[in-house]
Amino acid sequence: MKRFSLTRLAALSLAAMMTVSMAACGSNGSKTSEATSSGSSAASSTAAVDQKPADLLAKYTPEIDLTAWRYLNNGIEFAPGDTIDNNVWMKHYKEDYGINLKYVWTVPEEQFDQKLNISVASGDLPDIMWLRNKQLIELAENDMLYDLTDLYKNNTSDFVKSILEQDKASFDSAKINGKLMAIPSTASSVDNLQILYIRADWLKNLGLEVPKTLQELYTVAEAFAKNDPDKNGKNDTIGLALVKNFLDTNNKHASAAGLFAGYHAYPRRWIKDESGNAAYGSIQPQVKTALQEMQNMYKGGLLDKEFGVKDRAKVTETVSAGKVGITYGGLSSPGAFLKDNAINEPNADWQAIELVSIDDKPAIPVTSMPVSRYFAVSKNCKNPEAIMKILEDTCVGYQPGNSPELKARNDKFGVTPDGIAVWQYQLISVEPALKNLNAHNNVIEAIQSKDTSKLNSEEMGYYEKIQKSQAGDRQFWGDERIFGTPSSSDVIGKYVDSNNLLTNLFYGSPTPTMVEKQATLEAMEDEVFTKIIMGASIDSFDKFVSDWKKLGGDQITKEVNEWYAQAK
C-alpha cells in the first residue's frame, strides 16, 4: 500500500457525481409490500447494466423493489418515530433513486451470526445481503451469488474504486477464484498499527536520546523507573506500562503487541510458516524469547508491579497521573489515551516513534484484516446493478472540498445535532482505508499553504482544532498529535510508505473448533504468559505449546489452513 491523497484521485468522476447526487431527499418513506426477491422488469435491469458512468446516480423510472437483510449495529439509536425500515436513508433511496428497499429481517449484531447461518442454510436469499467471509465463500461455491466483476469494472466510478482499493488485500478478500463476489465493507487496517510512545520531556530531563533499538529502550525504561525523570524527588514512576490483557488483539492502548514485534513475534495472530501454511503466532519460539525478556523487565522494576491486575481504565489513570514514561498504542492514542496527561501536565511531551527491534531486522507492526462483513447480491436479483448505485451514493460524502452542498449532505446523513449517528442506517457502508492518513496529509498541506479550500468538512474540523492547539489550548493537543506534525500519523505514514506492516493471515468466521475451544485456550494462554512475566519458569511456555496443541490447537490449525486454501 502506498500513501496518496483522495484529492488527486477524485477528478475523473467528481463532476458527474456532484451533478446528480446533491438532489434534496424526499419525505415519503412508507413501507413497501411483503418482502420478495423480485425487482423491476428485465428491460429495466438491462438498461441499468448498460449505464455509462455519468448515469451511475440516475433515478430508476419506474421504481424498483429491492430486498435485503442486515444486523443493527451495537449502540444504534433512532430519532423519535424512526426505525430501520423508516428513516432518512430509506426515504433517500426511494425519492432520489427510485429504490423501494425492504428488509426481510434485521437482528441485533450479537444475534447476526446465528440468524445468518439459519438463513443461508434455507437458501431463501434476499437481493442484497450482509455476509461474513465464511458464508460468502459457501454461497459463491454453490453458485448462489451474482458475479459483480463486470458490474464493478463498468458501473463504478474511478473515485469509488480509489476508495475500495486503497487496501488491495481487503478488497481482494471479496474475490472467490478471481471473481468479485461481493463488495467488502472496507475500513482502515493501518490505523491500528502499533506505535511506540515515549515522554520526550523525560528524555530531556535525564539527558537521554530517543531509543533506536530494544536494548536502548530497556536502558531508557530503567532510567525512567529509577532516576526520577519527573524531578519530583520521589521514586514513583514506571518505565513501561502494559495492560493485564496485553495479548488482546482488539486493544490499541498499552498492548504488548509492539514489544513482541520487536522480537519478530506475533501472539494471537496467524502467520505464514516456512512452508507457506498458516501457523498460530503464540506458539512460535520467538514468543518465548520475548517473554523471557519481559520477565527480566518485571524483575528489574521496569514494568508496573501491578500490571497483571490493571485493566485499560487503571492503566489510563496511571498515565494521566504522569507516572508512565513509555507505552504502546495506535493512531488514536494521543486523543484517547494520552490526552489527559497532556492536559494535566502542560510540559508533558509524548513523542510517537516507530517500533524498535532487538536486531538489525526492522520490527514489523501487525494488524488485522479490517473487513468484518461483505455486501453480496443474490444470483436471482433482477437489478444487481442497484448495489453499485447505492455504493456510489455511499461514497459521495468522501469527496474533497467543503462546499455548502456537501456539508449539508454530510450533516443530514452523518450525525444529527442531537448526536444520533444516522449514517448507521445506510444499507452499504465503506470507509477509505487511508482516510485518516490522507486527512493528515491534506491538513498539513493546508497549514503550509494556508489554503483550506480542498479540505472536506471532516478535515476542516481537524484543521480548526490544530489551530486551537497551536494557540495554547491543550484540550486539542490530541487532535494536533494525530493529524498535525509531529504526530502518530507521521509514523503510520512511514509504515505505509515502506510497506512495513503485517496482516493477520486469518480473517474468516470462527472455525467449529474455535467456537468450541478458543475461549478456553486463550484463557490458558493469558494465564501462562502472565505468570511467566511475573516470575514463573520460562519452561512453562513449552508445556503451554504442548497443551495448546493437544486441547484443540492442532485441530484449529487444520481448520484455519482449510479456510486459507479456499481464501487465498
37: pLDDT strictly greater than 50: no
Contact 360, 283 (CB under 8 A): no
Instruction: Say whether 131 sits in a helix, a strand or coil.
Output: strand
6 falls within a domain: no
496 falls within a domain: yes
310 and 214 assigned to the same domain:
yes
Under DSSP, the state recorded for 354 is: -
456 and 376 assigned to the same domain:
no
167 and 49 assigned to the same domain:
yes
The average pLDDT across 62-74 equals 96
15 falls within a domain: no
293: pLDDT strictly greater than 90: yes
Tally of domains in the chain: 3
Least confident of 73-87, 245-259, 437-451, 518-532: 245-259
- Which CATH number covers residue 200? 3.40.190.10
356 and 483 assigned to the same domain:
no
44 falls within a domain: yes
Distance of CA 280 to the CA centre of its chain: 22
**Domain range for 85:** 36-187+371-425
Q: What is the pLDDT of residue 83?
A: 97
* Residues contacting 560, CB < 8 A, separation 6+: 270, 278, 505, 506, 508, 511
Domain final residue, candidates 501, 520, 553:
501
182 and 236 assigned to the same domain:
no
562 falls within a domain: no
Share of the chain above pLDDT 90, in %: 79
46 falls within a domain: yes
What confidence tens digit (pLDDT) does each residue in 39-62 have?
322 223 333 334 444 478 999 999
Identify the residue whose cell numbers are 437483510.
69
389 and 350 assigned to the same domain:
no
396 and 453 assigned to the same domain:
no
177 and 199 assigned to the same domain:
no
13 falls within a domain: no
Mean pLDDT taken over the chain: 88
Domain final residue, candidates 501, 519, 541:
501
What confidence tens digit (pLDDT) does each residue in 352-370 have?
999 999 999 999 999 988 9
* Beta pairing, strands 238-241 & 324-329: parallel
What confidence tens digit (pLDDT) does each residue in 272-290 have?
999 999 999 999 999 999 9
Q: What is the pLDDT of residue 456?
A: 85
Domain final residue, candidates 425, 454, 471:
425
Least confident of 184-188, 261-265, 282-286: 184-188
Neighbouring C-beta atoms of residue 170, cutoff 10 Å: 23
**And the C-alpha cell for 501?**
506492516
Q: What is the pLDDT of residue 345?
A: 95
317 and 402 assigned to the same domain:
no
Neighbouring C-beta atoms of residue 515, cutoff 10 Å: 11
Residue 15: Cβ-neighbour burial (10 angstroms; 0-12, 13-18, 19+): exposed
- Which of the pair, 65 or 55, is modelled with greater confidence? 65
56 and 143 assigned to the same domain:
yes
Q: What is the pLDDT of residue 135?
A: 95
334 and 380 assigned to the same domain:
no
Least confident of 33-37, 451-455, 462-466, 512-516: 33-37
Q: Could you tell me the pLDDT band of residue 242, with boundaries at 50, 70 and 90?
A: very high
The average pLDDT across 238-260 equals 90
391 and 484 assigned to the same domain:
no
443 falls within a domain: yes
